[in-house]
Structure formats: C-alpha cells, structure tokens
Amino acid sequence: MPGPETADRLLQGFAPVISRHAHRLILGSFPSEVSLAAGQYYAHPRNQFWRLLGDLTGEPLAARPYSERLKRVLVHRIGIWDVLHACERQGSGDAAIRNYQANTFARLRRLAPSLASVAFNGQTAGRFAPTFAAGGFQVAVLPSSSPAHAGRTYEQKLTIWKKWWDASEPENPATRRP
C-alpha cells in the first residue's frame, strides 16, 4: 500500500501578486515543493527568478526579504502569478503535474487594466500563451528560471528575458512622438 509520500495530492497555488497599475505579468506553471513549503513564489535558492528580475529592474531583489521583493515588483508595475491554481504532483517537476485546474484569468482586466505584456516562465506555462495572445496581450515564452532547466547559462537566459523586458517597456506619454 503506497504511503502518503508516494500518493498524488491536490496542491493549491498562490494568489496573484498584482496591482491595478501592473503593465507586465510573469506567469509560471505552479510553485515547487520548496516554494509551497515557504509560502513564497520562487523560494528555491537555486531558482534564478529573483536574480533575473533584479537584473532587469536594476535592483538586488534576490538579496531582499521576500515581502520587500513583492513591494518592489509592484513599484515596477510587474505582476507575478501561475497558470495553474491547483494540481496533483509528486515532487516539483512540471512533467509530474496531473489533474490540474487552471487559474481564472478573466478577472485580469479588472485587476490590472493597464496590463499589456504577459511573459511565461518556461514551456509548461507557455502552453497558455495563445490564449493570452488571442486576448490582445503581447506574449513571450521565456526560458525557465528553474534549476531543473540548465540547458542555458544564466547569461543566455538573461539576454532572452531582457529582449522581452525591452520590448514590453510601457510607453511614456511625455516622450511619445506626435
């Protein structure tokens, strides 16, 4: 008889980190076991998410306490969420996800009316890109920040993330040409 450690169980994801001023949204697939245990997005110490985002914003986000990281991403008009609300999974790998429930994204326009660009942190989350593109959002599927995806160096990932970041820069009405 399998013990509880071998049985799939329904896991619940996190609420979105977003404000009505958000212009960019980064969607992951589902929190890792480490993140679920910590109650924090991207809590695994080898996950490069906070380092990547820090390099994009010019702030040392990875060195800050979690609550401060969240405040700073909101200041930069960034939202963070996952494509999945709940799933069954053994371990942390996306390939082990079963019986998932997607988040309800219809409320995004109400939560963040300025939202224009949605980036997907990895291929699993990126499966939702066509839905967002059809909804009028600029979309990009980025290389995963997960330590399980070591096919690219940090610098290669940062280059791709920076292309998305630069392409999704909000227009500044003061610098718009006639």
Pairing of β 84-88 and β 98-102: antiparallel
Average pLDDT over residues 120-135: 95
pLDDT for the residue numbered 2: 39
Q: What are 21-75's pLDDT values in tens digits?
A: 999 999 999 999 999 999 999 999 999 999 999 999 999 999 999 999 999 999 9
- For residue 50, the tally of other CB atoms under 10 A from its CB is 23
Q: Which residues are catalytic?
A: 47
Q: Which domains does the chain have, with CATH numbers?
A: 10-168 (3.40.470.10)
Q: Is residue 122 within 8 Å of residue 94, measured between CB atoms? A: yes
Report the residue count for the chain.
178
Quote the CA–CA distance of 124 and 134 in Å, as a whole number: 18
